[in-house]
Structure 1
Amino acid sequence: MDSEMNGEPKVRVALVLGATGGIGGAIASALVAHGWLVRGMARDLEAAKRSGVDGVEWCKGDAMSASDVLAAAHGADVIVHAVNPPGYRKWEELVLPMIDNTIAAALANGARIVLPGTVYNFDPELTPVVRSGSPQTGRSRKGQVRIALEKRLKDAAPQVPSLILRAGDYFGPDARSSWFTQAMIKPGRPLKAVTNVARGAGHSWSYLPDVAEAVALLLEKQSALAPFEDIPFEGYWDRSGRGLIDGLEAVLGRRLAVRAFPWWLMRLASPLVPFAREASEIEPLWRHSMRLDNERLVSLLGKEPRTDLIEALRATLGSVGCLPERKG
């Protein structure tokens, strides 16, 4: 990554698959800020250009098409695989073919794959602390798919190097498909009430810009990275399961009405409603504490990027229209 040609620094090229999504867009923005030439692939170019991710060169393509991914990855040093099936649909059918296409494109270009990892791979009852290389014990269907996906990356190394940065549930600007924006708060109106999803246990949260900055900084350390890296990102460890709610009240300067998330309804509706089924399967992640140990990340970077919680929550609420209107 640091090689030069004719005395000029080599232009570093990253292809970001899923750049119109929350984590993909955040990583694309961070890489642009760090001087990368960032290419994004999207099925709808006009929508991609309106996504608010600045500095990205867009090309048309579908992550399910091996030829599209290969063409978009031409000359890439890094491929960020931040693409997921829309909603909770067809995970078993779509996730593994998409990573296979990315692996093939990375092999053809000598690129490293970056994967935003999840905690679905783990059973919190068996793994209360997730470390680099922790055995993957997840039993949900989504967890099993993620385990298979990461095994493909591990098996592809060292011919195809990869970096998994594993984080908890996201919040932050543009974290649209997240438990924070889809379950805890109602975007588009001043915040008066919040839903507590946790069931009396601690929970790991990650602020999108911090995760994206960590990816960009880790890619500056290519020579120190192993061919296969599985790195947990600690983020904000909410010990009580109420920490984000306390933070929201601090941002607003007042108490909020707090409702409990209807887990009972998810179980009741799970046979008929896909979201309810998937939510029920990952309920243990909210019922049992599971913390991410960032020892490997700190050994590489010295410290983890960490925005003050109140500042991060204020930026998040502002981005989704939940702050009170200013008078005057």
Structure 2
Amino acid sequence: MSRPSATPTALVLGLTGAIGGAIAAALARRGFAIRALTRRPAGSRPAPGFAVDWRDGDARDAAAVRAAAEGVSLIVHGVNPPGYARWREDALPMLANTIAAAKAAGATILFPGNVYVYSSASPALVNETTPRRPTTRKGQVRLEMEEMLEQAARDGVPVIAIRAGDFFGPGVGNSWFAQALAKGGLRAKALQRLTQRGIGHAWAFVPDLAETFARLVDIGAGLPAYTVVNFAGHYDASGHDMTDAVRRVTGRPDLPVKPFPWIMLWLAAPFVRFMREALEMRWLWKQSLALDNRKLVGLLGTEPHTPRDEAVRAALGAAG
């Protein structure tokens, strides 16, 4: 095991993505040195507003991940296969690489989870003990990833995992909020309603989620080896809370709200893999699913929570 430096270092896999970048920023504010592994050439890397020790490499390369993790105390596993594709082929090996690197470095893993481990048979309010019985391919992969992390914790690798709803916020361009609900952002000519009225949906404002990770890191040794909590985020209980917020923020109360054209996904599904994969998760838009955050609040006292209109205002810039 390598000896850590005086300044704690976090290796971020997926720093160029929304959640990886947000967690990195929250950790940097707390004095962590940030290291990132990326395939992007130097000229196309973002300038996040804090110092980054960039390392060339791929999260699918076990040796590259292990080398980048030398001396770190945290590894943020914020990387996913793009475009809803190759989850089993890439997501499982990438997580295995992170676990092996964390074990070698003596590091804690930070893992952003999601609600894919649940299913249409789940209750409308889920907590950390709700049975995980996914019925989709991506849900099964996410369950296997959680089981890998549980085993890693039993083997001595501390894990902090947070399950959250659909991401939205600054920098979150590839999301249901930015690409469907409020496509066009502040310049949107119409909004799209993804659920029927009365169907609730969980949304996670990424800066709040990142701050939650950082506050759990602050607790440090006071946490169990495997810590998994649910993040309530912004729950749209009515099915139109989010579109109402966009109308308020834009000052356009008459901005049209149209049903999302799911039929277009059905028509394209035989030819476009992304459409098939997106349709597989449609159950999350057909029934209510909220996350019970009482365990998280018990640990932190409160869940970081930006007011809805403020969060939507920040997200609309990413949707533009």
CA positional deviation for 1:188: 6.5
Contact 2:173 2:318 in 1 (8 A): no
The one-letter amino acid of 1:139's match is: T
**Corresponding residue for 2:263?**
264
* TM-score (ref. length: structure 1): 0.91
Contact 1:28 1:53 in 2 (8 A): no
Q: Which residue among 30, 45, 51 is the counterpart of 1:49? A: 45
**Corresponding residue for 1:128?**
124
**Corresponding residue for 2:32?**
36
Matched position secondary structure for 2:12: strand
CA positional deviation for 1:48: 5.4
Q: Does 1:105 align with 2:101?
A: yes
**Corresponding residue for 2:87?**
91
The one-letter amino acid of 2:139's match is: G
**Corresponding residue for 2:12?**
16
Q: Which residue among 198, 211, 218 is the counterpart of 1:213? A: 211
Matched position secondary structure for 2:25: helix
**Corresponding residue for 1:80?**
76
Cα distance in 2 for partners of 1:12, 1:178 equals 32
**Corresponding residue for 2:235?**
237
Contact 2:185 2:317 in 1 (8 A): no
Q: Which residue among 240, 244, 252 is the counterpart of 1:246? A: 244
Change (3 A) 1:188 1:194: closer
**Corresponding residue for 2:165?**
168
Which consecutive residues of structure 2, in runs of 5 or more, have no partner in the other structure? none
**Corresponding residue for 2:61?**
65
Contact 1:48 1:58 in 2 (8 A): no
Matched position secondary structure for 2:82: coil
**Corresponding residue for 1:326?**
none
Cα distance in 1 for partners of 2:49, 2:105 equals 25
Runs (4+) of structure 1 exceeding 6 A deviation are none
CA positional deviation for 1:69: 0.2
Q: Does 1:192 align with 2:216?
A: no
Cα distance in 1 for partners of 2:12, 2:295 equals 24
Cα distance in 2 for partners of 1:252, 1:37 equals 38
Matched position secondary structure for 1:156: helix
Paired residue total: 314
Q: Does 1:311 align with 2:299?
A: no
Matched position secondary structure for 2:98: helix
CA positional deviation for 1:174: 0.3
**Corresponding residue for 1:297?**
296
The one-letter amino acid of 1:165's match is: I
* TM-score (ref. length: structure 2): 0.94
Q: Percent identity?
A: 45
Contact 1:41 1:72 in 2 (8 A): yes
Contact 1:20 1:51 in 2 (8 A): no
Cα distance in 2 for partners of 1:51, 1:290 equals 36
CA positional deviation for 1:267: 2.6
Which consecutive residues of structure 1, in runs of 5 or more, have no partner in the other structure? 322-328
Contact 1:166 1:231 in 2 (8 A): yes
Change (3 A) 1:188 1:232: closer
The one-letter amino acid of 1:251's match is: V
Which structure has more helix as a fraction of its residues? Answer: 2
Give the aligned CA root-mean-square deviation in angstroms.
1.7
